[in-house]
Amino acid sequence: MFRQPIIIGLGCLSLFALSSCSSNLSTTTSTTVKSSSSASSSGLPAPASQAVISKAATLPKDKHGMPTYKSHSSRTRFVRTTAYSHMEMEPGAPGRMNAAGGILKYGTVRSAAADWSVYPLGTTFRIKGQPHTYVVDDYGSALVGTNTIDIFKPTLSAMNHWGTRQAEITIIQWGSYERSLRLLKGRTAYDHCRHMFHGCHHKLQKSDYASHVTKTSDAAL
């Protein structure tokens, strides 16, 4: 049974916990990595390319000052990332389970949380400078209405090491708004789930959706 989110601690716990921290395009955070090689060895993202940053600067912004991409054809993106861990042990959190009912992943494929009306359930992507594939199989109430992606970490130290970072991502495959809607339908008593539910409905009406989104196998989650 799902519980109302409670705001405690850093990051977002799976299902309903929250992400934190803000950044904008014009500010370089103290966690900026100097090179791709150092990023890879430290487990952190490589710096975004200037071309991606320049394009992002022309787009509408969310409340964190990060770009809002209107088309599914925009697969290389400049995003704000945060980190969360099931080890935060926040009240109401379901342990190491994700919002899709599976186990949070941390291997070759790793879990991430996002607003499902922005990055629908099953969306897979890579972060520049990272060897892993990430899959959106979770969400958090503080992510809703933003373009932030929350990266799952299995320990508090790894979560804190990541912190809040701007990163370049490349969408490998879009997830399913239809499957997102099926899971969210029974959760609309929660404001953030209701917001995502209506947002997914809206995205299904977009003319570019069908041409850029392929069916995602439940086995990938």
* pLDDT tens per residue across span 162-205: 999 999 999 999 999 999 999 999 999 999 999 999 999 999 88
* pLDDT tens per residue across span 109-130: 999 999 999 999 999 999 999 9
Q: Residue type at 120? A: P
Residue 64 has pLDDT above 80, yes or no: yes
> Quick check: is 155 in a domain?
yes
Separation of alpha carbons 6 and 16, rounded Å? 8
> Quick check: is 56 in a domain?
yes
- Mean pLDDT for all residues in the chain: 82
Separation of alpha carbons 49 and 197, rounded Å? 33
Alpha carbon of residue 156 to chain centroid: 18
Residue 19 has pLDDT above 70, yes or no: no
> Quick check: is 158 in a domain?
yes
Residues with Cβ < 8 Å from 219, sequence gap 6 or more?
Answer: none
* pLDDT tens per residue across span 143-168: 999 999 999 999 999 999 999 999 99
Residue 9 has pLDDT above 60, yes or no: no
Residue 108 domain boundaries: 36-175
> Quick check: is 127 in a domain?
yes
- Maximum mean pLDDT: which of 34-43, 94-103, 206-215: 94-103
Helix (H) or strand (E) holding 52: helix 50-56
* Helix pair angle (177-184, 191-204), 10° resolution: 150
pLDDT over 70 for what percent of the chain?
A: 72
Long-range contacts of residues 199-208, Cβ cutoff 8 Å, at least 24 apart? 199/115, 199/116, 199/117, 199/118, 200/116, 200/117, 200/120, 202/117, 203/117, 203/120, 203/177, 204/177, 204/178, 206/72, 208/71, 208/72, 208/73
Q: What CATH number should be reported for the domain holding residue 152? A: 2.40.40.10
> Quick check: is 140 in a domain?
yes
> Quick check: is 25 in a domain?
no
Q: How many residues are recorded in the chain?
A: 221
pLDDT at 38: 56
pLDDT at 101: 94
Q: Which residue has the higher pLDDT, 53 or 7?
A: 53
| Overall number of domains in the chain | 1
| Torsion angle of C-alpha atoms 2, 101, 157, 34, degrees rounded to 10 | -120
pLDDT over 90 for what percent of the chain?
A: 68
pLDDT band at 96, cuts 50/70/90? Answer: confident
pLDDT band at 43, cuts 50/70/90? Answer: confident
pLDDT band at 213, cuts 50/70/90? Answer: low
> Quick check: is 221 in a domain?
no
> Quick check: is 71 in a domain?
yes
